[in-house]
A and B are shown apart, each in its own frame.
Chain A
Amino acid sequence: MNTVKKTTITAKKIMTTKGKKLAAGLLVLLSNATLMAPVVAQQVQTDEADETIEMPVEMPVEEPVNDPVNDPMSFLQAPFRQQQFVPDISLILDMGVGAYSLPDAQRQALISPYALQQQVDFHHAVNANTGFNLNYAELTLSAPVDPYLELFSTFHLSAFEFEIEEAYIRSRGLPLNTELVAGKFLSHFGRLNAQHAHFWSFNDKPLVYDHFFGSENLNELGARLSWLAPTDFFLDLGLEVLQGKNSASFGQAGFVSGDQELLAVNLPNLLVATAKTSFDAFDALTVLGGLSYARGGSRFVPPDAAGLVEHNGHFHAAQAAAEPVEALTTYVGATQILGADLSLRWFVDSYRDLSWQSEVLLRQSQGNRYAEGLATPTSFLQLGGYSQVLWRFAQQWRAGVRADVMGLNERREGDLNIASAARLPQTRYSTMVEYLPSEFTRLRLQYNLDATGFDHMAQAAPVHGLFFNLNVVMGAHGAHEF
């Protein structure tokens, strides 16, 4: 190791001329380099043009010599360069083109007996209209903040809006296999809630998620502590303390009914607990199951003077009351949601797999409905779910079918059961095929038959929808979880 000897001497020489810091840095570099077998002698010019040091650096042969990224001495040329600290940045774009069998205005006025508040929440709806749709652009930025924290953020961009969809810190290296997340984030409730739209297997998400959590899913301010239990099987436990503003099931707003004023809730009032487990039945078959439980206070406010209902900071027209079921507004109660999910995935080879995924969500709430200051004991119980099968049959091709079912729908006000059992169950069927020209582009054709809507005459109004969607990702986007 002749080269190494020579450099040590040169490094000593530098210590006198350039200060200890630089020399110490070089020595660290050297000691690293001596550990590495492939040592390439490379000429590095210092800013003192006459002084050339020969030093071993780990450097691929085909690298251009003047490469600022890998050149360990580049700080001499650009002392305040921060380029290498740029976080991972990616932009995802989703657009679709297609048509529905009903005119948009008519279709958007349809009522589902399941939508408790009867409000139209198309805010983050995908393919909201016939014709071309710019569904979203999603900008993500993430990087370690320091040795202790990572920052992850997703910005949801629509044609005229820029929203913080997620912005949270994540602990790095907490002991005992725990992790703490704090900020605004998607709850890990169920199998799908935490997934971003571009990772969904269909253009739209299951109906039960739309009904129970709204078009933005359960996305809240709060903190999450998760723990990978020291068991012989996979067991991931999580506990979330959330503000509970989600107005599809929870909410905190105050309102006035007659001469009674119901004050707004300010403290966090939503708790979510999750448990996930998984095992490989054979080498090629993976089973994943989960249980989720959410419990929080509910406030369903009346529409404001303009007839608008607030949903996660956005205002939507409150729907006309559905006959014969009236919209559940001016409601104060406690709601719990239980979710159970099961996924099976069978791998044929590196590029082919068959997966089956199903989820059932049960929502139960008990409270009072206020009218002219009078409280009527009110409760509701709803059950919904979906089941889907996806078949990736070639490296670039995947096809799938999904059935959405909304089953149980009980609602009691006083002694009356006012939900309409005759309309059950309600279903939506979807089928899709997608082609991925590369890992970063996805073309998807999806057909939906949605039989959950009723028109203002309470007549069933099935809607057919056929959409072709393009989803592309640019930049540094992290790999996804299972």
Chain B
Amino acid sequence: MVLKTIFGVAVLALTWSLSPAEAQAKLQVVSSYPYISSMVSEIAGNQVQNDTLASGAWDPHFIVAKPSLILKLRKADLLIINGAQQEIGWMPPLLRQSRNAKIQAGQPGLLDLSTFVQKIQVPANVSRALGDVHPQGNPHFALDPDNVPRIAQAITQRLCQLDQAQCNGYRQNESRFKQRWQQSAAGWQKRMAPLKGQKVVQYHRLHDYFLQHYGLQSVNTLEPLPGIPPTPQHLNSVIQQVGREKVKWNIRGVYQPAAPSQTLSSKSQAKLLTLPHDVQAVPAAKDMFSLYETLVKGFGV
């Protein structure tokens, strides 16, 4: 009896606090990563409720599936994901637990950005013997400046589909954003031009889209295979390669362990750059423009 009463009281207390202000007019948009929500706010301003699941400073592959994220998904009208399996390690249980029919796979409330861009490094065959490979290609495509307008377009179209009343506004913001983006991209293109052909090693294949766009050549990673932390043998072979091939830059993402990259730069001429991969990965990267600006500035141009 006592047990029953305790349980009853607890359930009552919880039901009592059901929030009445559930019905909100604004479209609730939830994005997996900060770069996506920053683009949502470029296009939709404050016309939508804009929320993010992951923190920009953390490894995008290993976001913790916290219950507070389920809460965000429960209310969502639209969930925008990066896709290409970047969220495979944390999104599926959240999506299931949200019990929100609107945002499940196949519904208009789920937008997978990766289907709107071309992926690089798509493996012809996959096996876990090759490490934690992405069968659909490198998922960090938002770091190619040419992909950003495509993402903007995909977001705009979906917002229009779900919220036709505001469509004109979304489209205006989109074209304004694209214009500004074009101007900024032209500037970055000019500044990055002298770096063309320079060689780079990375901790993980995180900045490949950026490097490829500006003609830099990524010759190796400190991880022997994707998802496998650097081993001393592999690190040694990279150090030798860096010396042999006159590699100029040594790039590390903000969330990756610092020690292996520091060892490499202390034993070679390659300059260590710790670069953001997402909006909010560093304080300076407040939106897509300042993210790219931070990346370009990182190379000293």
Verify B101–A175 contact, CB threshold 8 A: yes
Instruction: Chain B residues near A178: list those with CB within 8 A.
Output: 99
Q: How many residue pairs between the two chains, A and B, have CB atoms under 8 Å in the bound complex?
A: 163
Given A286-B67, A478-B92, answer yes or no on A228-B227 (Cβ-Cβ < 8 Å): no
8 Å CB contacts to B: which residues of A241-275?
273, 275
B68 nearest CB neighbor, chain A only: A280
Scan A52-94; emit 1 where CB is below 8 A from any B CB, else 0. 0000001111111001000000000000000000000000000
Interface residues in A, total, Cβ within 8 A? 69
- Contact of B229 with A by CB under 8 A: yes
Verify B101–A61 contact, CB threshold 8 A: no
Given A38-B117, A286-B67, A439-B132, answer yes or no on A228-B97 (Cβ-Cβ < 8 Å): yes
Q: How far is the CA of A334 from the CA of B240 in the complex (A)?
A: 72
Scan B57-76; emit 1 where CB is below 8 A from any A CB, else 0. 01100101111101100100
Verify A174–B101 contact, CB threshold 8 A: yes
Instruction: Chain A residues near B165: list those with CB within 8 A.
Output: none
Instruction: Chain B residues near A454: list those with CB within 8 A.
Output: none
Given A58-B115, A60-B119, A278-B68, answer yes or no on A231-B17 (Cβ-Cβ < 8 Å): yes
* Cβ-neighbour of A174 out of B96, B99, B255 (below 8 A): B99
- Contact of B169 with A by CB under 8 A: no
Verify A228–B99 contact, CB threshold 8 A: yes
Q: How far is the CA of A347 from the CA of B122 in the complex (A)?
A: 33
Given A36-B116, A60-B119, answer yes or no on A228-B98 (Cβ-Cβ < 8 Å): yes
- Contact of A291 with B by CB under 8 A: yes
Closest CB in chain B relative to A213 CB, distance in Å = 17
Instruction: Chain A residues near B228: list those with CB within 8 A.
Output: 437-438
Verify A62–B93 contact, CB threshold 8 A: no
Verify B118–A61 contact, CB threshold 8 A: yes
Verify B14–A173 contact, CB threshold 8 A: no
Closest CB in chain B relative to A191 CB, distance in Å = 12
- Contact of A420 with B by CB under 8 A: no
- Contact of B120 with A by CB under 8 A: yes
Verify B99–A226 contact, CB threshold 8 A: yes
Closest CB in chain A relative to B206 CB, distance in Å = 13
* Cβ-neighbour of B116 out of A37, A67, A295 (below 8 A): A37
Verify B67–A440 contact, CB threshold 8 A: no
- Contact of A129 with B by CB under 8 A: no
A176 nearest CB neighbor, chain B only: B99
Q: How far is the CA of A443 from the CA of B79 in the complex (A)?
A: 37
Instruction: Chain B residues near A177: list those with CB within 8 A.
Output: 74, 98-100
Instruction: Chain A residues near B3: list those with CB within 8 A.
Output: 293, 336, 338, 362, 364
* Cβ-neighbour of A173 out of B68, B101, B119 (below 8 A): B101
Scan B1-24; emit 1 where CB is below 8 A from any A CB, else 0. 001101100110011011100100
Q: How far is the CA of A64 from the CA of B117 in the complex (A)?
A: 17
Closest CB in chain B relative to A401 CB, distance in Å = 22
* Cβ-neighbour of B65 out of A233, A293, A482 (below 8 A): A482
- Contact of A417 with B by CB under 8 A: no
B137 nearest CB neighbor, chain A only: A60
Given A179-B99, A226-B99, answer yes or no on A234-B67 (Cβ-Cβ < 8 Å): yes
Verify B67–A438 contact, CB threshold 8 A: no
8 Å CB contacts to A: which residues of B109-152?
115-122, 124, 128, 131-132, 137, 149-150
- Contact of B104 with A by CB under 8 A: yes
Verify A63–B117 contact, CB threshold 8 A: no
Instruction: Chain A residues near B97: list those with CB within 8 A.
Output: 228, 236, 481
Given A338-B6, A438-B228, answer yes or no on A63-B14 (Cβ-Cβ < 8 Å): no
- Contact of A351 with B by CB under 8 A: yes
B17 nearest CB neighbor, chain A only: A231
Q: How far is the CA of A141 from the CA of B7 in the complex (A)?
A: 36
Closest CB in chain A relative to B61 CB, distance in Å = 9
- Contact of B284 with A by CB under 8 A: no
Instruction: Chain A residues near B122: list those with CB within 8 A.
Output: 60, 62-63
Q: How far is the CA of A173 from the CA of B154 in the complex (A)?
A: 25
Given A38-B116, A235-B14, A288-B67, answer yes or no on A350-B93 (Cβ-Cβ < 8 Å): no
Q: How far is the CA of A317 from the CA of B60 in the complex (A)?
A: 51
Instruction: Chain A residues near B229: list those with CB within 8 A.
Output: 395-396
Verify A231–B18 contact, CB threshold 8 A: yes
- Contact of A28 with B by CB under 8 A: no
- Contact of A48 with B by CB under 8 A: no
B65 nearest CB neighbor, chain A only: A482
B88 nearest CB neighbor, chain A only: A479
Closest CB in chain B relative to A61 CB, distance in Å = 6
Verify B115–A482 contact, CB threshold 8 A: no
Instruction: Chain A residues near B17: list those with CB within 8 A.
Output: 231-233
Instruction: Chain B residues near A231: list those with CB within 8 A.
Output: 14, 17-19
Verify A228–B70 contact, CB threshold 8 A: yes
- Contact of A35 with B by CB under 8 A: yes
Closest CB in chain B relative to A65 CB, distance in Å = 11
Verify B19–A61 contact, CB threshold 8 A: no
> Which residues of A are in contact with B by a Cβ distance under 8 Å?
35-38, 40, 58-64, 67, 147, 170, 172-175, 177-179, 226-237, 273, 275-280, 283, 286, 288, 291, 293, 295, 336, 338, 345, 347, 349-351, 353, 362, 364, 395-396, 437-440, 474, 478-482
Nearest 3 Cβ contacts at the A-B interface = A173-B101, A278-B67, A350-B59
